[in-house]
Chains A and B, each alone.
Chain A
Amino acid sequence: MNRSSIVAIVIFAAALLALLSIGPQVTRQIQATFFQAISPFLKTGSGLERKITSVRTGLKSLEELEHDNTALRVENRSLKATNEALRDVEHEVNRLRHALNYRQRSLFRLVPAEIVSRDSSTWWRTVTINRGKDDGLASEMPVLTDEGLVGRTTTVSENISVVLLISDENCRVAANVEGTREQGIVTGERVAGSLAPLLDLNYLSKQAELKAGQKVYTSGVGGVFPSGLFVGTIRTFQVRALDSQAKLAPAVDLAKLEDVFVVIGRK
């Protein structure tokens, strides 16, 4: 081994040890700075992704058109393409109107945000949103849609933030079951084989008698999530040796998230 390699190893080891010894706060600062630095790329990439998706949808419609009417293919293609474009606009208008209504009638002060990217790693379920400290966001703020709870913010930089989804095993939410006194902790699964995984509601009492279809809401215990947010609906329920467990279908389709709200306080 030559001298330059030894020097390189020493420098590498020193830098690595320095990084390994940093605490959570510094880690968050490094991440926030990093996300801030790459935010233009993320936002541009997100825009491109949406355009590509919309082009793909348009091509599918053309295929359907060819099936429907071969004789008037040319004319139909043009008319249906226009229709498709208008439908996209209509969908967008409806979505935004829906979101605006929810924001107005909500009890919370909400900051609307758009999903910029999702699930960039294998082991953690996160999404990145296009809002940050400049919009009043901070770490550990609940994120939701008009349908229910989505997760909580973790790393927050000036104009971009990371949201840990409720489908992640680390996102624990104190919850209670509608119409009962049962309380438990909702967590995600460590490894999910599908884009819309189920949630676990653990630590229910052994005497619990729950049925599929019952709704689960946040209980407000723990301080991060306010009470009364819809978390999910019970799919299955089983009594175990020491407690009971229920499997929930999340209230929000996490695989199709487009817009979310961050709760920054009460009105």
Chain B
Amino acid sequence: MIFFLLLVLLVFVAQLVEIFLPPLAWMFNAHIYIVPVIVFYGAMALPFPLMLALAFFAGFLWDAMTAQVLDGHVEISFGWSILLYAVLAAIMHGLKPLFNRGRWEVHCVLSGVCTALILLAQYSMISFRRGSLIFNREVWWQIGGPGLLAMLMAPLIFWLLHYLSRLTNNPYLPQEEGFDEYAPR
């Protein structure tokens, strides 16, 4: 439970940090997203109910931060990010046996893919709402770029979170060696 609360706090802090991270001009203004990586780690290291709670919290923050109310309607209804997080986190949770065997690289790759999928889903909803579909180089970079960055950040963030998980005696840690080889005991 302590580790869950710690993840909730980290999600909140990461969401605030993301606000001040400038988009990357050399990557067609792709943004850096840290929160999804934390949530996807939570999906592996937490039991199902707490994973849902974490996904709910992260999605709520995202929507509270970005939902656009314009001319009397909400462009993407409040709650869609929660659903996206929950579905993708549930997929990651389903791959927990791999993580338990110390095969964490799959989850690093998937963190990037899922981050990009969240953005792709949002963009599809916006396009549907605005009535035209535009897919050019900028769009692909703004969807794929954050996914690529999340994939690159994931090993470090996973390692740090795993370290914290050990420190807080999280009872849902992997049983076998591998990923936690360097974590404190």
Pair A154/B119 contact, Cβ less than 8 Å: no
Q: Which residue of A lies closest to B118 (CB)?
A: A122
Pair A22/B18 contact, Cβ less than 8 Å: no
Pair B31/A121 contact, Cβ less than 8 Å: yes
Known: A5-B49, A20-B79. A117 touches B19 (CB 8 A): yes
Q: CB of B168 within 8 A of chain A?
A: no
Residue among B31, B56, B79 with the highest chain A CB neighbour number at 10 A: B79
Residue among A16, A48, A169 with the highest chain B CB neighbour number at 10 A: A16
The residues in A between 1 and 25 inclusive whose CB is less than 8 angstroms from any CB of B are: 1, 4-5, 7-9, 12, 15-16, 19-20, 22-24
Q: Give the interface segment out of A28-36, A65-73, A89-97, A240-248.
A: A28-36
Q: Which residue of A lies closest to B30 (CB)?
A: A122
Pair B65/A120 contact, Cβ less than 8 Å: yes
Tell me the complex Cα distance, A193–B83, Å.
29
In the bound complex, residues from chain A placing their C-beta under 8 Å from that of B146 are 122
Tell me the complex Cα distance, A122–B134, Å.
15
Q: CB of A192 within 8 A of chain B?
A: yes
Neighbour of B138 across the interface among A38, A49, A191, CB < 8 A? A191
Tell me the complex Cα distance, A251–B79, Å.
36
The 8 listed contacts between A and B (C-beta, < 8 Å) are A4-B48, A12-B52, A16-B82, A20-B78, A20-B79, A45-B16, A49-B20, A154-B68
- The chain B residues found within 8 Å of chain A, CB to CB, are 16, 18-20, 23, 25, 28-31, 47-49, 52-53, 56, 60, 63-70, 72-75, 77-80, 82-83, 86, 119, 122-123, 126-127, 130, 134, 136-139, 141-143, 146
